[in-house]
Chain A
Amino acid sequence: MQALDNVVVLDLTHHIAGPYATKLLADFGADVVKVERPGGDVARRLGPFQGDEPHIEKSGLFFFLNTNKRSAVIDLKTPAGKEAFTALARRADLIVESFRPGTMDRLGIGWEYIRSVNPKASLISISNFGKDGPYRDYNLTELVLYGFAGEMYSMGMTDREPVKMAGTAALFESGAASSVAIMGALWGAKRNGSGQHVDIALAETQAGGVDRRHATAIASQFSGRKTLRAAGAASGMPGGIYPCADGYVDFTNAGLRPDRVLDMIGAPEWALDPMYSDPIQRLQPATIEEWNANFLGWCVERTKREIWTEARRARVMCGPLFTMQDLFEDDHFRGRGFWAKAEHPVMGEVEFPGRPLIMAQAGWAVRRTAPLLGQHTREVLEETGLSAATIATVIAEGGRS
């Protein structure tokens, strides 16, 4: 048993944010039917690809985002496609889409239509800026999203350009926020007996919370103060990121507990200078600089793992800067069973990040790997009771079975 195994999701999303949201539902048991346009989800064309060779069944990104889903290729622009959509919508609790605003209405399958065929279903629309407003039709990509609505302005060095997060971190965060709204719609329908339309703007998920933006916003309203781009290097005793024998270690805010820091470095004579414990002197930039010059000497004689071991012993906040190789080889995460492995029909055995969290009951599981394009078109349409002729038409129009 899985917690959501009585929930049916009709998933019309593509790319990253929407599929990540519905992946979470699928990974906890929901029956997620992923409707792909002929040709497939754009994420099938985004890397990394196994063997660096672009192939719609070899994208590591698509693989991760679509575990536990079934794929049905349906051309929603055709009458048979609309019939298939209707049949699938009738059995769905949740319909999630990420088309451009207005597309569902143009296809004749918008909110009013969904309500008429299944009043218990909710429609969750995920778009760049929301379903209305002057930017309704504007484009967003990871960079533009994080720059406009996330906290990018204060990331980086004062005299240089702001700099983003890695990869598509912001889209994943917006996807996670969307999954909460989707579960809200599921509970709302249970409580009230009827579905609703949920309008999610990626920009508002960023501006509304993710990574300090809501706090920098109210700080400006309270105080008129803005949040400066300021690199974290050597800003405390210690604070920021330091080089060491084989890489770097992050000691952000570790200086809040000088007693523990002293314990970590074994209380060498230099660190006992009363200047460092004097409440006024210890705030002076010159004092901090001198302390850091000494501390750097301690760091460069040790590896990042040796430093973290000492930090953990002394309960100092610290994080070594791991590479992906460090992470994959790390015993802690291996020992906890974090990494999952599954057999994919084209890629073979693939290792990937496993559970996002551990529920003691009815939690995360991999029932199937990401679907091949249209792998389940016939299967899911037969479950709806559509006529064999209609199913044949949908499959023919979709380009493959």
Chain B
Amino acid sequence: MTKKPLEGVRVIDLCVVWAGPFATMLMGDLGAEVIKPENPFVFQPMTRGAIARPPKPMLALAAAWAGGLPGNEPGARPWNYNPTFVSLYRNKKSFTVDLRRPEGLEVFRKLVAVSDVVYENNATGTMEKLGITYDFLKAANPKIIFVRVPAYGSTGPYQDARALGVHLEAVMGHTLLRGYDDSDPSTTTAIYSGDYLAGAQGAFAVMTALWHRERTGEGQLIEIGQAENASAMFTQAIMDYSLNGHIQETIGNRDVNGRFPCGVYPAKSPGTAATQDDRWISIHVETDEQWAAFGRAIGGPAWASDPRFATNDGRAAHFREIDANIAAYTAGQEDYDLMHRLQAAGVAAAPVLESSRMFDDPQFRSRGFFRKQTQSDAGTHEYVGPLWKMEGTPVEFAQPPVTFGEHNDYVYRDVLKMSPEEIDALRAGGHIATEYDPSVP
């Protein structure tokens, strides 16, 4: 019987928002048992939603990934089908406990004793307030691996700064390095790419630390300073400053290595931007040969064979003129049709897909990328698939996005081996629930 790569590894998920949950999701995909302790009396904002019981108008005002609940209705338990939450909480288990009370912390301590990893990415100080420190965890389990994801690290003047991914990417330079090249930075859209980079690296770090533990028996503390971690994404700009003192600025959609043309052009659209029915195609020509092939693929218009544009230097000098010509052409073209013609000519091109259109894409379909999941409160839907295909140990979506407290029985009875009397006492104390307490807004 083939074993999953992380089978037998138990991970406690004390995570919020994106960066932490993404890490533990990747571990769950690889077969780890990920267990999330949740508190019926405390709602963690931006994890199972903005607030526990959002009124319908609030959902409509929020971005789709925050407010796009099934049928656009809050329903009875909105925390179980928030789009951001469900996209990060497959292959995980949930049980409830109030960690602020001594008996709740004791439950947690017992769970730590039979776990391998504790992962948290809360605002600095949150864990300490609960009494959850590395020393506390080590006392419960000397071999524990504890991962923390403070925005700016646990030392230095910014250690207490509050931040989402978007703020720390501003500090690391990303915000000034992206966005339109002809527009004020205040128009630049928020981004959270660093949350995912940190998440992937957290999963990598845990597997590396487990490897070390396998060899030495040693657990350890891992600190992912999320700002520092994000810097890899801007390597070219960082190294350009380090090597040459150049301060790079945004170049919009152009190529950081200066190969022209590289841009996003309008395609034939069934509607306008207001209804998100505008269509765009990205095109990137990397060589002079590709430029010649590009010209042929679009029917050989005179401008495409202008000798001024034959070399990359020439195209660099006249890129706005070229962009205008390309845009005039692409505006009348179906995006997918143009993609196939350009790709057949060896030119990188693809529609800039509005998210829902991914589900109609022949490549994703042919690869069996999407997965149907049925969750008791959300119903059955198609979700995006795993990030890779492992042929020997396939990623399975064995556990659909977990509902609040879904594994209370499993954790208290089977993992913690508590007696029915102990469990009843905790239930009477409000620790064990499948809904948030009515006092939670």
A208 to B387, CA, bound (A): 5
Within 8 A of A (CB), among B208-255: 208-212, 214-216, 218, 220-225, 227-229, 231-244, 246-248, 250, 252-253, 255
CB < 8 Å neighbour of A204 from B193, B200, B367: B367
Chain B residues within 8 Å of chain A by Cβ, number? 165
Judging by beta carbons under 8 Å apart, are B160 and A312 in contact? Answer: yes
Judging by beta carbons under 8 Å apart, are A184 and B197 in contact? Answer: no
A356 to B299, CA, bound (A): 48
Interface of B is mostly: mixed
Q: Is A83 an interface residue (CB 8 A)?
A: no
A262 to B258, CA, bound (A): 46
Tell me the minimal C-beta distance from B105 to chain A in angstroms: 24
Q: Is A287 an interface residue (CB 8 A)?
A: no
Interface residues on A, range: 35 or more
Q: Is B428 an interface residue (CB 8 A)?
A: no
Take A324-B238, A325-B247, A361-B212 as given contacts and tell me if A173 and B197 are in contact as well, using a CB distance cutoff of 8 Å: yes
Take A161-B253, A169-B193, A211-B192 as given contacts and tell me if A139 and B166 are in contact as well, using a CB distance cutoff of 8 Å: no
Tell me the minimal C-beta distance from B3 to chain A in angstroms: 4
Judging by beta carbons under 8 Å apart, are B68 and A358 in contact? Answer: no
> In the complex, what residue of chain B is closest to A169 when comparing beta carbons?
B233
Q: Is B81 an interface residue (CB 8 A)?
A: yes
A276 to B325, CA, bound (A): 49
Judging by beta carbons under 8 Å apart, are B352 and A220 in contact? Answer: no
What residues of chain B lie closer than 8 Å to A159, measured between beta carbons? 273
Interface of A is mostly: mixed
> In the complex, what residue of chain A is closest to B6 when comparing beta carbons?
A187
Q: Is B64 an interface residue (CB 8 A)?
A: yes
A352 to B83, CA, bound (A): 38
Tell me the minimal C-beta distance from B146 to chain A in angstroms: 9
Judging by beta carbons under 8 Å apart, are A197 and B64 in contact? Answer: no
Q: Is A81 an interface residue (CB 8 A)?
A: no
Q: Is B419 an interface residue (CB 8 A)?
A: no
Tell me the minimal C-beta distance from B282 to chain A in angstroms: 4
Tell me the minimal C-beta distance from A345 to chain B in angstroms: 15
CB < 8 Å neighbour of B166 from A46, A200, A319: A319
Judging by beta carbons under 8 Å apart, are A149 and B353 in contact? Answer: yes
Judging by beta carbons under 8 Å apart, are B191 and A155 in contact? Answer: yes
Judging by beta carbons under 8 Å apart, are A352 and B242 in contact? Answer: yes
Judging by beta carbons under 8 Å apart, are B180 and A216 in contact? Answer: no
Judging by beta carbons under 8 Å apart, are B355 and A192 in contact? Answer: no
Judging by beta carbons under 8 Å apart, are B392 and A195 in contact? Answer: yes
Encode contact with A along B126-154: 1 for CB under 8 Å, 0 otherwise: 00000000000000000000000000110
What residues of chain A lie closer than 8 Å to B274, measured between beta carbons? 158
Take A49-B243, A215-B87, A256-B45 as given contacts and tell me if A192 and B393 are in contact as well, using a CB distance cutoff of 8 Å: yes
What residues of chain B lie closer than 8 Å to A204, measured between beta carbons? 364, 367, 369, 385-389
Take A165-B191, A179-B200, A357-B205 as given contacts and tell me if A197 and B391 are in contact as well, using a CB distance cutoff of 8 Å: yes
A121 to B390, CA, bound (A): 14
Judging by beta carbons under 8 Å apart, are B383 and A324 in contact? Answer: no
Ranked 10 nearest A-B pairs via Cβ = A196-B392, A60-B239, A319-B167, A219-B68, A319-B170, A166-B177, A220-B356, A223-B68, A139-B348, A147-B282
- Ordered by A's residue number, 28 sampled pairs between the chains whose C-beta atoms are within 8 Å are A61-B235, A63-B239, A129-B363, A133-B366, A156-B179, A166-B173, A168-B236, A180-B204, A191-B4, A191-B7, A203-B363, A203-B364, A204-B364, A207-B369, A214-B87, A218-B83, A218-B383, A227-B64, A311-B161, A318-B161, A318-B163, A318-B167, A319-B167, A321-B185, A323-B247, A325-B247, A356-B229, A357-B228
12 more contacts with CB within 8 A, not counting A227-B355, A308-B161, A319-B166, are: A48-B240, A147-B352, A148-B282, A154-B355, A166-B237, A179-B204, A192-B2, A204-B364, A232-B190, A318-B161, A331-B156, A335-B157
